[in-house]
Amino acid sequence: MNNEFKGRVAVVTGAAQGIGLAIACELRARGARVLLVDRNASGLARVTQTLDNKDHSAMRAFVADLADPDAIEELASQISKAESRIDVLVNNAGIEIDLPFEKVDVEIFNQVIAVNLRAPLLMTQALSQLFPSSGGAIINISSIHANHAFPNAIPYACSKAGLLALTRNLALELAPRNIRVNAICPGYIDTPMWEEWLRSASDPAALAEETEKLHPLGRRGLPRDVAMAVAYLAGPQAPWITGTSLVVDGGLTVRAHP
């Protein structure tokens, strides 16, 4: 693995498992010093104990519930004391609550929006001040839900569609500071969130097989599929890419009749 991120500092939210953990590992493998953020303290402890046994300076963990604006403010204070600069911010933390639209109340809607949409804005406001004058990269993890309708997914879909709008507007406003802002829209990815949804199905094995067949490339995605896309958009190969979204879904959404 190359060292394209050597000397750079990356913050990854939702990093205790799944896509966030894969992103943290990918950036670390490419030379970055990575700050992991998650509300799951025990999960973060397991991750750092497992991954950080050789180089304790390469990875640090911060516990924060990003649904709480005060927690984000405190997190930014802790990070600014630990690091003199931030080069990459990956807003990955997210939650999904599946319900028919008539059962979506204000509390549920606000809960999803708070984590999936408001937190990336507040994290960007808080941490963009730590980016150097040379700039950097912000990657927001959206979803194919942003552009494609799925049943029982209104809060999640609205939050992810809003995240694309946030990405475009932040790209415009942060361009004078050479901070590039892009989004990634994953499809079905084998994560703990996916496994939980699969277990709730009446026939998990049949659903797993069905979702594999939906993809022209013949499989669901892996967390590292998303992580490698993040490394590309955050890295030196994408210096003139900003304000856009990259779909990482194995061809799922190009089918006319899935």
Q: Which two tokens stand for residue 36?
A: 């992991």
Give the span between the Cα atoms of 189 and 249, in whole angstroms: 8
Q: Nearest 5°: phi and psi at 182? A: -135, 170
Q: Which two tokens stand for residue 51?
A: 């991954």
Nearest C-alpha neighbor of 252 from the set 204, 202, 216: 216
The one-letter amino acid code at 112 reads V
Exactly one of 5, 62, 131, 156 is catalytic; which is it?
Answer: 156
CA 256 to chain centre: 28
Q: Can you name the residues that pair with 35 across neighbouring β-strands?
A: 11, 60
DSSP 46-111: HHHHHH-SS-TTSEEEEE--TT-HHHHHHHHHHHHHH-S---EEEE---------GGG--HHHHHH
Give the span between the Cα atoms of 204 and 197, in whole angstroms: 9
Task: Verify whether residue 188 is a known catalytic residue.
Answer: no
Distance (Å) of CA 86 to CA 7, 33, 95, 145, 161: 10, 10, 25, 30, 26
The one-letter amino acid code at 169 reads N
- Residues assigned a catalytic role: 156
